[in-house]
Structures are given as structure tokens and as C-alpha cells.
Structure 1
Amino acid sequence: MTARSRFRRFHPRRPCSAAPRSPRHPLRVRLRRYTALAATAALSGPLLSGCGLLPGEARADDEAVKVMTWAPQDTHAADMAGMTAMAQAYARWINASGGVAGRRLEVLTCDERNDRLAAARCADRAADEDVVAVVGSYSRHGHTFMPPLEGAGIPYLGGFGVADDEFESPLSYPVNGGLPVLAAGNGRQLAAGGCTDVTLVRPDTVGGDQLVPLLDAGLRDGGAGAAAPVRDVAAPEDATSYLPSARRALDGAEAATASGAGTPCVTAVLGGRTDTFFDSFRRLAPEDAGVATASVLGSIRQNLVDSTGGAASSLEGAYATGWYPTADDPRWGPMRRVVREHAFGDDRIDPDDPGVRTTWIAYTVLRAALEEIGPDTPVTARSLRAVLDEGPAFSTGGLTPKLRWQYDDLLSAADFPRIVNTSVTYQRVRDGRLVSVHDGFVDVEKSLQADDDLG
């Protein structure tokens, strides 16, 4: 059975926008997520007939549209406070400009704390507060935050892309392809850079396991004549030193050089610990080792390059695969203007941060969707989902390809069916700055589908 046929089997077309089953999971798996909703249905009788509003359906009044943005703060490991600050600045800008379709935008924020229980509490609060969407947020704990949102019918629009559920749940509307797209894109970028022997250093987690075949698929699709599959180095997720992992990566690269197997490259995808790994790697690797380094945006950020020495940083020269255009692209001008005029000097907002950018893009889509609903139709979670499911493609000002989540737009890969944006950008650290090394976006959909078919 092909990936597309599996997709159609578990995601039949529906006569209305009531939450369909995810194409990835059979019904028996998805049932646990809808247990609470089913119990409510059993008690509600005629109230749930047809496609009417469900009990607890999120709704906004005629004057305000209430949404929520959450992100971890003060964790010293995964802080993304700039995302909630960007959401608040966006609301101030929109409201100062007359709102959206005559309605005021009200943004609630929640500290997700990088904790599964806190993430669930944020989702419960979103349901209690009757928000119409959770927008531009960050959490790795999709297994705890998505069920409450699904039970309340609340769409999750524009998550950062680090939770599997963002690419599985029928109520999730991602604006980027998350780590799956970055991993496949990184493989293609390394192939374009001439890498023929690649070592991947990644977290020793289930999510980290997924990165290996995706990187391999990208290398194959990019035409790399790799002598062997990607060399996998699973590393502790929260280590304070990566010298053992760096030694394994360097030994593999040196062996490839000695055997004449090809050009060795080491790519590390360790989130906030990536700079720690590269610092360990540079201590071990001689200056003339000839080993290229690489990572993905999110693991490498401009503020990280700045804080680790700029042009003298251990990240200098590294390849970096991202979702969006580089910081100097004029398409970021409107966002920078809003930050300058409506953030009031809030130093939590770094316009170069991929989290802040994701929040901006997510709210750009939200605004377009609300304008599509118009001033005469009540804004509810249901009416917003209907526009996202059945409406037009939404422009993000060129920061992504146009986004639409209709059935035919979804990815025909069983593991990531909700991905609609399979594009990446190629960047590199040069003279202490992340700069573009390829014009426009690179579409890696073929690599994602190849990995799915091989799996």
C-alpha cells in the first residue's frame, strides 16, 4: 500500500470541518484522544447533531477575537519568551490599526515551562478561556497539549515545529515543516556542498532517531555519492560537555579521509546544546582537519553565533538549513517595523530568532483567515477551522510559499501528513553572519516521501 493510499484510508473526506481522523493513525490509536469528546457527545444528545457547535466550542464576541500564544520562559535551556512577546506586539499593532475586520485582537499568553504538565495546563486554560485558536507557539509536549485542544475543537496554528503531533493532528495547521523538513533539507544542502561522508550527531531520543533516515534521504536526493549511510552518533540531550561524542565524530571523519572515501562532514542537531558540541569538536579537531560542519536553524541562530565569538565562533563556516529567508531579506521589513514601533524596547524579542519569526508568520495567517471570515460571520474555533480547511491559500509576504491545508495540499507521507510547507533555505555562517548561499526556497517533498516509502 502506498503512502498516499494509506493517507486516504485513514483520512476520508468529510462533509464538514468537524475534526477528522489523522491520516497517520488508525482509528484505534486516535480513539484515546477523542474519549472525552465522545463522552460529552453521549450526554449531549441532539446538541451534537450534524455539524453544529460542540459544547465548549471556543467563541469570540463581536468586538474581540481571543487567542493564546504559549512558550517556555526562564528555563535556562529552551527559553522562547520572544514568541509570546511578539504575539503581544502584533496585537498592539493590529488594534492600533483598527483591528481585524472590525474586531479587536486579544492575546493571552501562557508559560509552557518546557514541561509536559505545564503544557497541558496551558491547553486546559485555552479551553477554559474560550480562545478561538492557539497561535505561533512553542512546545515539545504535543502528546499532552493536543488532546485538550482537540476535545475543545481549538486549532493549533503555526507551532514552532518540534512536536510530532503538530504534523499528525487534524486540528494542527503548521506553517513550516519542522525538524523533518530541516533534516531532509540539511542532507540536500550537504550534498550540494560536496559532502560524501556524513556524521550526524543528534539527541539520543525517539525524535532523534527519526533524523537519521531523513538526512540519508536528503543526501540521496541531492545526488551525494556517499560511500556509506550517515554515521549515527547518538548523544545525551543535556550534556555539559560533548567531548566523547565529538571524538567519535572526528574519528569517523578522519577514517573517511584516510581511506579516500570522500569529503567528510559533521552535522549536529542538538538544539540549545549544539554550540557546546561544536566547542568540544573544535578543541579536538586540528585546524587543517578539512572537516566541514553543519546544523539547522533553531540549533544555530544568529544570536548564538554572536555570543560565541562572531567570526571567531566555533560555528564559523558551518552550513545551516532553515525554514525562512535570512535576516537581511527585505521581506522581514514589516515585522521589524512592528517590533520597533509596538514592542516598546522589549528585549525579549530578537527579530532574527526563528521562534519570533514563526509567531509573526502564524499571526499573518490568522489575520488573513479572519479577514476571509469577514465582519458579518461570528468568529469561533469552528468558523476559523472551516476557513483553514477549505479556504484559499494564504500569503505570508513571501516568507514562506503560500499556505493552505486542504486535503490535496497535505503531504502524502504517513509520518508527517499535516506538513504543507516542504521548503527550506540554504544558509552558511560567513564572517560571523548567517547568509544565504542559494536563491529562493528548495523543496524537499521528494526526500520526505522517499523516506516514508523506504520506511
Structure 2
Amino acid sequence: MTGRRLTSLIAYVTTAATGVSLLTGCGVLPGATGGSREPVTVMTWAPDQTRATNMPGMPAMAQAYARWVNSQGGLDGHELRVLTCNEQNTTAGAAACARRAVREGAVAVVGSYSQNGRAFMAPLEAAGIPYIGGYGISEDEFTSPLSYPVNGGQASLIAGHGMQLAAGCRKVSLVRPDTIAGDKLPDLLNSGLRKASHRKAIDIPAVEDAAEYTEQADRARARAGDEGGCVTAVLGERTQTFFDSFRRLPEEEKDKDGSTVRISSVLGSVGQPLIDRTGGAHSPFEGAFVTGWYPDADDGSWAPMRKVIKEHAFVDNRVDPSDAGVQTTWIAYTVLKQVVESLDSDRVTAVQLSHALDNGVRIDTGGLTPALRWRYDDLLGAPGFPRIVNHDVTFQVVRQGRLVAQKPGFVDVGETVLAAP
């Protein structure tokens, strides 16, 4: 080959390679999702196969979301990579998941569940990694400057539940976990009851992972009374176990005067999947009051999530669109998507994400929550829960086996949370 021909061939190959590079950078090549933009790695964790509350649908929803968004070209051109971790409902498990997120370069932890806030927030804070849209079960989610909650957590649910029960219950018994987190629930419920000049609830602590609750059920039933009494249980996944024990109480203990005690709970302890599993319209939860964060599962606002689940998680029975954990994860990833889009950057870092969130990027969740922002002025500032920005709840009731709205729209419980001791 002559020198001239070799030079021409090299020039051709170089030009062709440059053209391919340019096409790749523009995202033109078939199958390209991010072009020159770097992938965005995040983590979603939740407990699974434990004796207490399990939330396998949350990491499963995160994986389905990643499949969907990457099929659409990624997050503003960035491939979304989701790491998942079993938090195991232990402090060691939560800390291990957080350390793995740091080690593997996650820029955020998104849509996760853990009661062990102190164990996971310290490693995240040390690495500057934001915690976006946690389930809202731990106090640290509402105190850490790197936490960006999408709901009002247990505080809003329980305070709102007190308001819901005050309108329909003469006396209330509260069965709740005998834990540090559970110790806060009576004051929150009572703040809602006081909103309607109602008496305090009877507080009945219980072991969180007990195999049966006959003693607590008997006590709750007796203290609530027979005329207009209500028994509410907030025990996470063990709520079903409690109401099984409640249902098996001797008939004379359940209904002395011909009237029945009404049962109630909050979303996350009772939800549509549990109602379906226990008989639907014939479920023991028929007629129960339930307070939730979001619209009921049949609301049209959930249509985009349902479409993603149908197309990208249709064979995964962990992903139930009626599950509060799945719903929270969807909203959390909606936040992540809009924040990344607001950056319009080839590389996304943890610092960029937290800076954008702190400086007022406004998130539209399509009616699932009010518009979300985490500026200082947007924070509720409630004692113990200063970082609540969404203090709306929904009042629901079980009718013909379906959780439906007891009253339309959202109920703002911000003042009630602020009034809690």
C-alpha cells in the first residue's frame, strides 16, 4: 500500500470514528440512552423476609421505574442505575445498606423504608448523599438536613387519624408498637382527637413482632366500650395479626349491648392488599376507617404509575399499585426525575441534587401530593418533625372491600401536628 493510500485510509477511519462519536454524544445511535451523559446511580432499600414489617415492593418498584425511564432515554439523557438492599429491619442492616450506597457511588437514596434512621443517616450525611422520599417511618427523616420527605410520615397519619376518629368514635383504644417510634404515637393521635374536643385515647403498647395479640385485643375492646367505641391498631405488617386476635375474642366480649366496636388504622398498617387477602367485601376490615397520605388506589392520578407497572413489572407480584410503599417509591422517583431534569448537566452529583432541592426546585406529582418544595420557608417546623413539607392526608373507609375516599380531597393536618406535645 502506498504512503498516499495509507494516509487517505487513516483519514477516512478517523473521520468515520469522529462521526460515530458525535452521533453517540447526541444520542442518535439506536439503543443509546444517555450519550455522553454519565449514568446516575441511586439506591433503594427496604426490609424483606423479616418477622416485622416487610416492604419488598419498594425496591421492586424502583427497578421497574428504572426499566421504564431507561426505555424512554433515561433521566434527562442519563441512564438510571438502581442498587437495591435488604435493610433487614435492623440497625446493622440499615447501616450496611447506607455504607454500600456510599461505596458504590450512589448520588441519592430514593424511595426507601427503614425504622433505623440514626443508623443510616449518619453514613449518608458524612458522604453528603440526600435521602429522597423515604417512607416516613423514622424520626431522622424529618430532622436531617439531607432528608427530603414526600409525605408527612407517621406524624401526619396519626394526627390526621385522630381527627378522622373524633367525628365517628365515642372512645378510642390505640394499640401501637412498644418502641421508641411507637412511644410518640399516643400524643399525635390525641392531638387530632383534641381538635374535636375529644377525650384522650387509651394507650396499649404491644410487642411489634408478636405471634398473637389476644391480651391486647381484649383490653382494647373492653376499654373502647360497646357504644360508639373504636379500636385502632398501628402495628405495620403485624396489624393483621392483631385483628385476627381481635376477631377471635369470645362473642360476649365483643358485643355486650348489641352494638359493635369499629376498627381503624392507617395506610401502611392496613391497605388494599391486606383487605383483598382477608376476604375483600367479606374482610373483617369492612367499614374500617383508614387515614392515608395519598388519594385512594383507584384514583385516576395513579394511572401513569399503573401503566409503568403493567409494562415493566407485570410478572412481579411484589409490585402492588395499591401498596403505600410502592406508591411512595413512585413519588420519590418522580422527584428524582424532575430534579435531574432541572440540572441539565452531563454529570449529576449528590451535592448538585441536594443544592437544587434546598434552593426551591418545585416538584409536580400529578395530583398525588401538593406541589413539593424543600426551601426553609416550606418546612412545617413542627417539634421533632421540622422537615415536613407535605402535611396533607386523606380520609378513607373500606366499603364493599375497597378503600375509597370517605371525603373528597386532602385534609391539612399541619396545625394538628404542630399542636402535638
After TM superposition, the score normalised by the length of structure 1 is 0.81
Correspondence for 1:81: 56
Instruction: Determine which of 235, 241, 245 is the counterpart of 1:276.
Output: 241
Please report how far the alpha carbon of residue 414 of structure 1 lies from its aligned counterpart in structure 2 after TM superposition: 2.0
The DSSP-based 3-state class of the residue aligned with 1:206 is coil
Aligned 1:15-414 pairs, distance under 5 A: 62-192=37-167, 194-221=168-195, 223=196, 225-226=197-198, 228-254=199-225, 257=227, 263-284=228-249, 285-286=254-255, 288-375=258-345, 378-414=347-383
Alpha-carbon distance in 1 for matches of 2:93, 2:51: 16
Q: Is 1:422 aligned with 2:391?
A: yes
Asked whether the equivalents of residues 379 and 388 of structure 2 are also in contact (C-alpha less than 8 Å), the reply is yes
Q: Give 4+ residue runs of structure 1 displaced > 4 Å after superposition.
A: none
Alpha-carbon distance in 2 for matches of 1:348, 1:75: 15
Please report how far the alpha carbon of residue 69 of structure 1 lies from its aligned counterpart in structure 2 after TM superposition: 0.8
Alpha-carbon distance in 1 for matches of 2:356, 2:398: 40
Alpha-carbon distance in 1 for matches of 2:127, 2:360: 22
Please report how far the alpha carbon of residue 286 of structure 1 lies from its aligned counterpart in structure 2 after TM superposition: 2.8
Please report how far the alpha carbon of residue 387 of structure 1 lies from its aligned counterpart in structure 2 after TM superposition: 0.7
Q: Deviations over 1:378-399 (max 9, x none)?
A: 3110010011100332111110
Q: Deviations over 1:144-168 (max 9, x none)?
A: 1100000000000000111111011
* Higher Rg: 2
Correspondence for 2:412: 443
Number of residue equivalences: 381
Which amino acid counterpart does residue 206 of structure 2 have in structure 1? A
Which amino acid counterpart does residue 243 of structure 2 have in structure 1? F
Please report how far the alpha carbon of residue 412 of structure 1 lies from its aligned counterpart in structure 2 after TM superposition: 2.1
Alpha-carbon distance in 2 for matches of 1:182, 1:353: 16
Please report how far the alpha carbon of residue 375 of structure 1 lies from its aligned counterpart in structure 2 after TM superposition: 3.3
Alpha-carbon distance in 2 for matches of 1:344, 1:213: 42
Alpha-carbon distance in 1 for matches of 2:129, 2:361: 20
The DSSP-based 3-state class of the residue aligned with 1:352 is coil
Alpha-carbon distance in 1 for matches of 2:229, 2:312: 47
Asked whether the equivalents of residues 102 and 375 of structure 1 are also in contact (C-alpha less than 8 Å), the reply is no
Structure 1 unaligned spans of 5+: 1-60, 258-262
Please report how far the alpha carbon of residue 344 of structure 1 lies from its aligned counterpart in structure 2 after TM superposition: 4.6
Deviates more, 1:308-317 or 1:328-337: 308-317
Please report how far the alpha carbon of residue 93 of structure 1 lies from its aligned counterpart in structure 2 after TM superposition: 0.9
Structure 2 unaligned spans of 5+: 1-35
Asked whether the equivalents of residues 65 and 104 of structure 1 are also in contact (C-alpha less than 8 Å), the reply is yes
* Aligned-residue CA RMSD (Å): 1.5
Alpha-carbon distance in 1 for matches of 2:362, 2:95: 31
Asked whether the equivalents of residues 275 and 315 of structure 1 are also in contact (C-alpha less than 8 Å), the reply is no
Q: Deviations over 1:94-130 (max 9, x none)?
A: 1111112221111111111222111111100111111
Which amino acid counterpart does residue 312 of structure 2 have in structure 1? H
The DSSP-based 3-state class of the residue aligned with 2:181 is helix
Correspondence for 1:6: none
Which amino acid counterpart does residue 360 of structure 2 have in structure 1? G
Please report how far the alpha carbon of residue 196 of structure 1 lies from its aligned counterpart in structure 2 after TM superposition: 2.8
Please report how far the alpha carbon of residue 421 of structure 1 lies from its aligned counterpart in structure 2 after TM superposition: 0.7
- Is the alpha carbon distance of 1:268 and 1:344 closer, same or farther for their aligned partners in structure 2, counting shifts above 3 Å? closer
Alpha-carbon distance in 1 for matches of 2:92, 2:289: 36
Q: Deviations over 1:144-194 (max 9, x none)?
A: 1100000000000000111111011110001011111110010011123x2
Asked whether the equivalents of residues 189 and 321 of structure 1 are also in contact (C-alpha less than 8 Å), the reply is yes
Alpha-carbon distance in 1 for matches of 2:48, 2:187: 32
